[in-house]
Chains A and B, each alone.
Chain A
Amino acid sequence: MARSMDSDRTSLAYTEDEREGQPEGDGERLPERRPAERSRELLPAIEPDRQLNDWGRSERVEGFMDQTLVEFFYRYWFRAEVEGIENVPAEGGALLVSNHAGALPPDAAMIGKAIREEHSNPRPLNITVEHFFKSYPGFSMLIPKIGCVAAHPANVHRLLYDEEQLVLVFPEGRKGTEKLYKDRYRLRRFGRGGFVEAAMRAEAKLVPVCVVGAEEAMPIFAQLDFMKRLTGLLYFPVTPTFPWLGPLGMLGYLPAKFKLRFLEPLDTIGLGGAEAAHDKALVQTVAQEIRARIQENLAEMVGRRKSVWFG
């Protein structure tokens, strides 16, 4: 469902322009204005009469999707198998980092569903998506209602630090969803490590996630550049069903077997927490390390898999 983060903006760090916009202050990007407890205390209370939360998330719409489309794909179509769900913290902010594939990637919805189905404390998952969606009519209405949030560093920080929620990022961004079938399970560059910086600043845990199956569910054979320019879409892939079946072809997933593995979380407080978030070298090292762990596990999972369709 979710689109990946904008390629120009795969980093969760502030761009130069935004940084200039920050006050001089003590040199922090998102300075801690007051202790965490205080700022959490002052968060608006949730009014029980409302159908949406302050991010625009609708329990009703999300619940409906969860029980119909997502349920069907998770249980019967992809027959998802989950490993290591206990690695997702039951409380506190945590940033889930996953590999990303498919023209209209099903991986985000499957990760969210896995947490709802398997976890002892099923919490809502906030999926970071490109800003791009907000300017598309229709998408702009639907996307926030099913739990997607624009991948802005301030949004991620508020969710992780102030609201202590689960957030999912795809550091590969659009580079992941654009890649062709022949490059499957080869991770692209992990942005500029902005996701590590965001997690460190919020002192949230980093949970690497590996997803096997999404690459075969919607293999992309080619990218048509001229069609992309003609239609104004983010990209114009050729898949088994798209563009042959029209826009609905974007939902034409092949029944590949899905395997999700949640790896052991990385505690950013141990890395130095918010203080160390400016250390570019450290941020890059951690980002590389996480990428390597996901790649390693993916290779192992693909190696063990006897059949693309039956696992």
Chain B
Amino acid sequence: MMELSSAGRAAPDPGTRRVLVTGLSTYWGGRLAQALESFEQIEAIVGVDNREPRRELERTEFVKVSNQHSLIQRIVRAAEIDTVIDTRLVVNSLGAAPRAAHENNVIGTMNILAACSGSDSPVRKFIFKSTSLYYGSESDDPAFFTEQMRRPHPPRTALERDVVDAEAAVDDFAQKNDVAVTVLRCANVLGPDVDTGFTRMFSLPLVPMVLGFDPRLQFVHEDDIVHALEHAAFHGMPGTYNVAADGVLSLSEAIGLLGKMPAPVLPPWGTGLIASPLRRLGFRIPDEMLNLLRFGRGVDNRLLKSTGFRYGYTSREAMSKFGEHLRVQPVMKGVERAYTYEREVEEFLRWSPHVRRERADGEGVDADREPLGI
């Protein structure tokens, strides 16, 4: 069980200096590395992934490596990494084939944990981005899951099984090693840059609902997840925390906030059967969402708030904001410049004696982000 300092807030952790971000090429890894770059406290940021980064990074060192623990272990020891932030978890079954997702979520997690363990490991802090899919969604769930609750029913889909397995591995690691482990279970995320089953569903002109069901759902804005990862990096807060914005919306309410119309077209029985013809029509419902569309899920977010973290958006605000994005998106399509990673360019910018460092400062840092400060 977690310990709160006397004020109730988590104490700042000045020991976070050399950080390894796994999954640098995922949305979360890239956003987090960008965020960390602006903190002077951080001496070194190393990012690993098996694909090339998709966000422009200024001082983060990218190492292309697959989930091989011996290689990652060498990087960890050579760079004397004190904090590992694992943002790799695949939480959307549409994003990866089941086998690839399993490889990444279970085997990948085990490898990274193996790379950080050992008595001579320099790692003292491990932050794992998990998902509230961990809890599942069933008819006899409590209205608000708290962090001490284990999943009440066995996992239904391959992805959920992987998440449970990955968390079990992290839990085992926390017990056997002298490392402060923070697990962040993030709720359904909304935002202009993420692509999940929900953001796709809400982008449709008519939003499908299961006939006769109006589930309670909790969301969180993408910025709040980045801030929560940052918050965990800069504070000593071992334990498991739910990351979900204040407020649980019913699906019909959420659709109303988007200014759209609900379409109760999914049958209450055999929803899985109709899901496959729908997939062919272009609307793909991930398996892990089928139960969520009937029973919903709410989580208790007070534990993270008690560490001093404040959310920028409530569920309702995140939803309204996402609605704004959906209306602007068709107008602004293609305006943003896409970034491509070129190893030679990145190396030139980082190491060439001809680059004027003072001028390069500040470039590449996401200008509109608000550092949380310490």
Contacts and interface: CB of A to CB of B under 8 A. Distances in A.
Interface residues of B, number: 39
Nearest to B314: A47
A55 B152 CA distance: 20
A240 interface: no
A155 B148 contact: no
Interface stretch (A32-40, A79-87, A244-252, A268-276): A32-40
A34 B10 CA distance: 14
Interface stretch (B88-96, B98-106, B300-308, B344-352): B300-308
Of B139, B141, B249, B301, most buried by chain A (CB within 10 Å of CB) is: B139
B322 interface: no
A215 B360 CA distance: 81
Interface in B299-319: 300-303, 305-306, 314, 316
Contacts of A152: 140-143
Contacts of A21: 149-152
A118 B213 CA distance: 34
A138 interface: yes
A155 B216 CA distance: 14
B253 interface: yes
B365 interface: no
A16 to B, nearest CB: 13
Contact of A154 (B146, B214, B303, B306): B146
A39 B300 CA distance: 11
Nearest to B300: A158
A50 B247 contact: yes
Contacts of A134: 139-140, 295
A140 B253 contact: no
Given A51-B253, A141-B214, A150-B143, A44 B247 contact: yes
A155 B139 contact: no
A213 B346 CA distance: 81
B8 A155 contact: no
B144 interface: yes
Interface in B143-193: 143-144, 146, 148-152
B268 interface: yes
Contact of A34 (B4, B152, B268, B294): B4
A135 interface: yes
B249 A39 contact: no
Majority SS of interface residues in chain B? loop
B285 to A, nearest CB: 17
Interface in B233-255: 246-250, 253
Contact of B247 (A18, A47, A132): A47
Contacts of A31: 1, 148
A136 B295 CA distance: 10
A43 B247 CA distance: 9
A213 B142 CA distance: 33
A219 interface: no
B148 A56 contact: no
Interface string B330-348: 0000000000000000000
A52 B139 contact: no
Given A47-B314, A49-B316, A140-B212, A25 B148 contact: yes
Nearest to B269: A137
Interface in A193-244: none
A54 interface: yes
Given A47-B247, A137-B211, A132 B139 contact: yes
Interface in B127-148: 139-144, 146, 148
Contacts of A124: none
A288 interface: no
Given A25-B148, A43-B302, A47-B314, A155 B142 contact: yes
A45 interface: yes
A92 B139 CA distance: 29
A144 B216 contact: yes
B298 interface: yes
A50 B302 CA distance: 21
B180 to A, nearest CB: 17
A137 B212 contact: yes
Contacts of B149: 21-22, 154
A23 interface: yes
A146 B216 CA distance: 15
Given A22-B148, A50-B316, A141-B213, A131 B8 contact: no
A152 B142 CA distance: 6
B148 A158 contact: no
Nearest to B305: A42
30 contacts: A9-B140, A17-B152, A18-B152, A21-B151, A25-B1, A25-B148, A26-B1, A33-B1, A39-B306, A44-B246, A52-B250, A54-B247, A55-B216, A56-B250, A131-B139, A134-B140, A137-B210, A137-B211, A137-B213, A140-B294, A141-B213, A144-B216, A149-B143, A152-B141, A152-B142, A154-B142, A154-B146, A155-B142, A158-B144, A158-B300
